[in-house]
Amino acid sequence: MSKLDEKRREALKALGALSAWAGGLAMAGCAQTSSLSSSQTSAPQVKWSTGTERTTLIMPPDATDCHHHIYDHRYPWAPEATLKPGDATVDDYRQLQKRIGTTRNVIVQPSSYGVDNRLLVESIARFDGRARGIAVVNTSVTQAELEALNRAGVRGIRFNLAPPGTTTLDMVKPLAARIAPMGWHVQVNAPAAYLLQARSTWYDLPCPVVFDHLAHVPEPEGVNHPSFQMVSELLTSGKAYVKLIGFYNETRVGPPTYADSVALASAYARVAPERVLWGSDWPHPTEQPLNRIPDDALLANLFAQVVPDEATRRRILVDTPASLYGFA
């Protein structure tokens, strides 16, 4: 082979490598992913999150994580607490924000603290106006206490209904009547069968209801389960929202694809994209005892599969949370 032929061969090899690289870059662009170098795509290890890769999904400005918790041993567990996770502080959560790219957040009072909302209020204040909260109260709460929570940035109350603990189904309507004039909403965490049994409650509330964890629709039934039909009807009627969180809760497929949960979330997003929310569910308290902590970057990237349209993602990540939680 002549030297000229060798040079041509090397040039063709280089051109082929360049074409492959460019093709991969184009595919990444089509998928709305970043083209950061490997040194830029890694992040420090985040507590209660596996992996160190940043998200390939590029979050829009003011993207909101609509569901996470804070735990701190400085505050005592409620007597009825069954979940007692390790500390997951504001500083820990800030590291997660750096990894997944969100800049607004909604802190949800966990069942572990019952109606003691002190840590919630303290945590909201540390985010300098970029956080809101969902509290837990019972019917003994005073109007002055509700108003104080409102000033602190709380915009709703959560009911963990199965098993019943601090809050019960018979508290939902009376408390909803009290918070509706404040522009708050009710958030519900319960199995799908329980939600179905209480369906008349969700239709009769004077304020919106937000269903946690994909409304816990069981798999493999998914969209064929009657609870999906009920929640979809509430979404399209403007009475409800659903959080696209906790893909690991009901999945039969599991990581890394969570294909069944992704299909369910996609169905909700098609039914009423203006009535769905997204969140991390960090620090994944239900998964800690099972030693199966998920990869938060992976879960965020799956959201791009659920909602491939960039404008719709912005609506879900920015516009709807701004309206529901009162972000300026």
d(CA 135, CA 155): 8
Q: 94: exposed, middle or buried (C-beta count within 10 Å: 0-12, 13-18, 19+)?
A: middle
In the chain, the N- to C-terminal Cα span, in Å, equals 70
- How many residues are present in the chain? 328
Residue of 92, 260, 281, 296 marked active site: 281
d(CA 287, CA 6): 58
Packing angle, helices 259-271 and 226-236, rounded to 10: 30
d(CA 32, CA 85): 35
d(CA 87, CA 72): 5
Q: What angle do CA 69, 73, 78 make, to 5 degrees?
A: 75
Q: What angle do CA 117, 153, 312 make, to 5 degrees?
A: 115
DSSP of 182-244: GT-EEEEE--HHHHHHTHHHHHH-SS-EEESGGGG--TTTGGGSHHHHHHHHHHHTTSEEEEE
Nearest to 231 by CA among 182, 262, 267: 267
Element holding 105 (H helix, E strand): strand 104-108
Is 91 an active-site residue? no
d(CA 111, CA 116): 10
Largest CA distance in the chain: 91
d(CA 265, CA 15): 42
Q: Among all residues, which ones are annotated catalytic?
A: 281
